[in-house]
Amino acid sequence: MSKYHKLTVIASLMTLLAAPAYSETYGLGRPALPEEVAAWDLDVSPDGTGLPAGSGSVLDGEDIFAEQCAVCHGDFAEGVGNWPKLAGGAGTLDHEDPLKTVGSYWPYLSTTWDYVNRSMPFGNAQSLEPDEVYAIVAYILYSNDLVDEDFVLNKDNFLEVEMPNAGGFILDDRAEAEYVNFNDACMTNCKDSVEITMRALVLDVTPEETAAKSGTAAEDQVTEADAEQPVQEPVVETVALDPELVAKGAKAFKKCKACHQVGEGAKNRTGPILNGIIGATAGQVDGFKYSKPMMAAAESGLVWNEQELAAFLAKPKKYMKGTKMSFSGLKKEKDIAAILAYLQSVSQ
């Protein structure tokens, strides 16, 4: 670069830095628009600040909860598998293994409303209307025996609900009361190395491997004869479907949408995509980490025909012990039939 070019660049930079707009903001970004701030300003405070207008009854909440929440939290907020329990645990906080739920632990009802409104349902956050959130929270209160079945929650009576553990929390004053008494951190006689003594697998929170590990090297070998055998793809017959039943299945499938996607652009979530599931071999979706029992069933030749899939949907854990699917199952045969028709329509 010539001396002239250097001087030109320096002069340009000095001009930019001297400008008021750049001296304070470095020329990055812009002030957020009011509607952009409003889109993020969703929090609800313990004093009710941020609550929108609306209302919801326990009875309405029961139906909405069954459709939007029960797949993970159970029909009665009792929890499914490792998914959180939202009810119960009263009087257990002083136990060795306390059960912390909305009713036993949370001090402010606003925490429940805020969390449901911003983060639920799983995989489809912020899709609920305010009235639906009020109804769901009302049903959670009812499940914890905190309100009667005819209770209707709204903005006006929100603060009248008394949470059992409202007085169980204290302000964190450690910075003023304790930190000043701490000595400098000890950095002498430190260990030469740190050893891992336990892994998360013990706590049942480590994801399963993509496939079950074989016991011996011999079991992992694939003979040339096996490799030469062509893979027999299951034959799926195209059948005429009842449009009304398919429509009912699409509605019933809402119970599954928290974990599964179908249709164009579907992606694996907590559960695999279900496009083409009718007539497909078990454990065949690329990129999804199936449980070991599912992979074992796949290796034994399990094919998801309507009969097998119906049995699985009715009672997943009974059908396949050790399955990762936390859903307790569909109770109504008509819902199973409708969902099968809907999945069949996706398969075609």
- Shared domain for 61 and 145, answered yes or no, is yes
Looking at 160, 194, 210, which one is the last position of a domain? 160
Choose between 197 and 124: higher pLDDT.
124
User: What is the rounded average pLDDT for all residues in the chain?
Assistant: 81
pLDDT of res. 146: 95
Domain count, the chain: 3
- Shared domain for 67 and 15, answered yes or no, is no
pTM here is: 0.51
Residue 44 clears pLDDT 90, i.e. is over it: yes
For residues 168-174, average pLDDT: 88
Determine contact, residues 309/338, Cβ cutoff 8 Å: no
pLDDT of res. 195: 81
- Read off the pLDDT band of 193 (50, 70, 90): confident
Residue 135 clears pLDDT 60, i.e. is over it: yes
pLDDT of res. 237: 53
pLDDT of res. 22: 46
| Strand boundaries in the chain, DSSP class E | 55-57, 152-154
Quick one: CA dihedral 130, 135, 136, 138, positive or negative?
positive
Judge whether 275 lies within some domain: yes
Residue 257 clears pLDDT 70, i.e. is over it: yes
Judge whether 119 lies within some domain: yes
Determine contact, residues 55/158, Cβ cutoff 8 Å: no
- Shared domain for 87 and 148, answered yes or no, is yes
Residues 319-336: pLDDT tens digits? 888 887 767 678 788 889
